[in-house]
Amino acid sequence: MELRKDYILSRFVILASGRKERPRDFSKEAELKHAKICYFCPGNEKMTPKEIGRVPKGKGWEVRWFENKFPAVEPKGKARIRADGSFHALSDAYGYHEIIVDTPSHSKQLWDLNNTQIEKLFCVYMDRIRELSAKKNVKHVAVFKNYGRDAGTSLIHSHTQVAALGIVPPYIKEKNDAVEKFRRCPYCDIMSIERKSSRLCYENDSMIAFAPFASRFNYEVWVFPKRHVTGLSEFSKKEMEDLGRIMKKILAKLKRLGISYNYCLQYSRDLHFHIEVLPRAEKWGGFEYSSGIIINSVYPENAAKFYRGYSKGH
Ligand SMILES: [Zn+2]
Ligand SMILES: [Zn+2]
């Protein structure tokens, strides 16, 4: 067993392999129930909140986005945090919360789409970030995906969420603060080290994917563009293609594991853009909540082996 610290954050994990190391031990994600009427499906467009945009295909669409029917934040009230006495700080939950339907197909998950379709979806992310960032009082646009019950979704039709927030989220701020302590981008250096390590999962011309040294989740992977870019809008066409390709490879492996996952885009100011892919095989218990230290039963070195496909048993 090993206690490991995150590259730059004060965050610790304990790697305790054994019990659940082999993917075949994961129980298959319980099938999400098919809703009788799916309002993400083509033909039911009238049932969603007002459409914001779509990528047209023929008479229909390939990707479509609209306001979230059950938003966590909304553009009402005041975004500014105010103090109410010495210990109470609050604001209205200000922002914009949107749903992007990834594909018109009800039966396909993101891992069933090809790399070009995945690339197109990331182009939509770029569009949403650009548009929502320009809105008044928006400090950050979070883009994340939940797949499966253990990752926080109950709707089977593949979709992504976008939440434009009135604050910079604490996790992003923590990364910004940590990065600022270095004279040059630490992630550029981390990438060149991990590229030569046993934690490398995949690499193509412009992208790299590795299992982070202090992985919190079984089979956690981080995806970085090799060039120091701070957002999707700086990606070249080739980089977008390479991103689609590397995400497809990761997702194909996640399909084999058959587990819930989240992924989220990480970017802000001069933070080196990256994507955290977080499979959700294990639940956090008292140890995690009481100490903030996370126990992960899969060493990232073994996770990387699984992604690279070297390990037959996996
Ligand atoms: Zn559907
Ligand atoms: Zn960098």
Per-residue pLDDT tens over the stretch 299-312: 999 999 999 996 54
User: What does pTM read for this prediction?
Assistant: 0.94
> Separation of 34 CA from ligand 1 center, angstroms?
8
Ligand 2 centroid distance, CA of 208 (Å): 12
Domain extent listing, the chain: 2-28+39-308
111-115 contacts, C-beta under 8 A, 24 or more apart: 111/248, 111/251, 111/252, 111/254, 111/255, 112/255, 113/248, 114/248, 115/241, 115/244, 115/245, 115/247, 115/248
**The pair of three-digit structure tokens given for residue 247, joined into one six-digit string:** 């995400």
Using the mean position of ligand 1's atoms as its centre, give its distance from the Cα of residue 119 in Å. 21
Q: Please report which ligand is nearest the Cα atom of 40.
A: 1
Please tell me the distance between residue 108's alpha carbon and the centre of ligand 1 in angstroms: 9
Ligand lying closest to the C-alpha of residue 47:
1
* 266 CA from centroid of ligand 2 (Å): 13
Enumerate residue ranges in the chain where pLDDT < 70: 19-35, 310-314
State the pLDDT at residue 313.
41
Ligand closest to CA 35: 1
Per residue in 152-166, pLDDT (tens digit) is 887 899 999 999 999
Q: Which ligand is nearest to the CA of 37?
A: 1
pLDDT for the residue numbered 24: 52
Write out the residues surrounding ion ligand 2, Cβ under 5 A: 185, 187-188, 228, 272
CA of 59 to the centre of ligand 1 (A): 18
Question: Which two tokens mark 244?
Answer: 């689609």
Residue 33: its pLDDT value, please?
58
Considering only CA atoms, which of 133, 140, 214 is closest in space to residue 171? Answer: 140
* CATH 3.30.428.10 for the 2-28+39-308 domain, yes or no: yes
Look up residue 161 and give its amino acid. Q
Ligand closest to 105 (CA) is 1
Dist. CA 277–CA 206, nearest whole Å = 18
Q: By C-alpha distance, which of 196, 192, 208, 202 is closest to 310?
A: 202
